[in-house]
């Protein structure tokens, strides 16, 4: 990510962007609301101050910002940071290799690593810290979506599918259609409601016994540990490409309506990944603040 510092400086000087109209916003907002429910009080205070937002929506309000920014002239450099192209062979074999799969322009793993470094470095301005925080909040969501950790057919973007009467692609239904079928909508209120349900599942429901394991080994202490933490998340997400997303291969989904049985099978994975990344984001932000 050689352009990181100069790019942040450009962002700091830029005019505010228009409202986010990106795909998958509701999923990112849900992850952010879950994180808001689990961060320490000191973390909440730090990020509310940094983001200049004392509302309960302080993380959710910026969760999808990076998707708008990537389509601006100033932010076009950040497009590769939203994914890592696992050059594996699903559904036969899945796996992520950093040296093989994170390109010279960077990837979601290096982005999380490098923006964390910026956020922890007091030499950067508050404006640069704010941008770094927005990126981390967003990329913690991206890295949990299985097709953001897969190279095949451009992460599923080139696999045409149907979702009911809509002509779409495999990546898009994992980004939006399936999550929205679970939450019941695409609005901020849908995200908040779904986050409440998943928070309960973490606190006292089906994920209670698993949550501690989700953050085992999480560390921001060194560049290497930041990379290792993000790689753990990417490898877990990528494994679902073989076990769920493309279990039957491309031919099993291409030009098929995936709004029925396929979605029913995918639902538990989507719920788990949203819950997991929300909880992980909370603990990652806590670790950042604790390290300051």
User: What positions carry a catalytic annotation?
Assistant: 23, 28, 67, 70, 82, 138, 142, 148, 171, 175
From the list 140, 135, 99, the residue with the least C-alpha distance to 115 is 135
DSSP letter for each residue of 116-160: HHHHH-TTS-HHHHHHHHHHHHHHHHHTTSGGGG--TTTTTTTSE
- 232 half-sphere exposure, CB direction, 13 A CA radius: 15
From the list 108, 93, 112, 231, the residue with the least C-alpha distance to 152 is 93
Structure tokens that stand for 276 in this block: 């997991």
Structure tokens that stand for 94 in this block: 């899945």
* Rounded distance between C-alpha atoms, residue 289 and residue 90, angstroms: 38
Q: Which residues contact 105 (CB under 8 A, 6 or more apart)?
A: 1, 77, 80
From the list 227, 209, 206, 208, the residue with the least C-alpha distance to 218 is 227
CA angle 258, 145, 126 (to 5 degrees): 145
* Rounded distance between C-alpha atoms, residue 232 and residue 187, angstroms: 30
What is the DSSP code (8-state) at residue 93? B
What is the DSSP code (8-state) at residue 81? G
């Amino acid at each position: 990510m050689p352009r990181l510092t100069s790019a942040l400086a450009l962002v700091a000087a830029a005019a505010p962007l228009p409202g986010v109209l990106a795909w998958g916003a509701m999923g990112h907002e849900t992850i952010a609301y879950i994180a808001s429910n689990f961060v320490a009080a000191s973390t909440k205070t730090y990020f509310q101050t940094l983001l200049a937002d004392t509302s309960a929506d302080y993380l959710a309000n910026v969760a999808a910002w990076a998707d708008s920014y990537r389509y601006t002239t100033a932010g076009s450099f950040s497009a590769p940071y939203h994914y890592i192209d696992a050059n594996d062979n699903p559904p036969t074999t899945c796996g992520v290799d950093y040296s093989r799969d994170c390109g010279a322009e960077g990837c979601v793993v290096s982005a999380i690593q490098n923006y964390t470094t910026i956020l922890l470095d007091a030499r950067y301005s508050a404006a640069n810290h704010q941008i770094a925080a927005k990126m981390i909040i967003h990329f913690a969501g991206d890295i949990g979506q299985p097709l953001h950790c897969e190279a095949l057919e451009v992460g599923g973007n080139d696999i045409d599918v149907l979702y009911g009467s809509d002509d779409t692609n495999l990546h898009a239904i994992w980004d939006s259609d399936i999550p929205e079928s679970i939450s019941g909508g695409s609005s901020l209120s849908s995200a908040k409601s779904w986050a409440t349900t998943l928070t309960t599942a973490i606190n006292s429901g089906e994920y209670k016994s698993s949550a501690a394991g989700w953050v085992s080994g999480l560390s921001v202490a060194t560049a290497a540990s930041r990379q290792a933490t993000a790689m753990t998340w990417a490898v877990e997400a990528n494994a679902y490409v073989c076990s769920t997303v493309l279990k039957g291969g491309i031919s099993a989904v291409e030009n098929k309506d995936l709004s029925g049985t396929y979605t029913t099978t995918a639902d538990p994975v989507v719920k788990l990944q949203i819950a997991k990344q929300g909880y992980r984001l909370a603990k990652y932000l806590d670790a950042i603040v604790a390290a300051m």
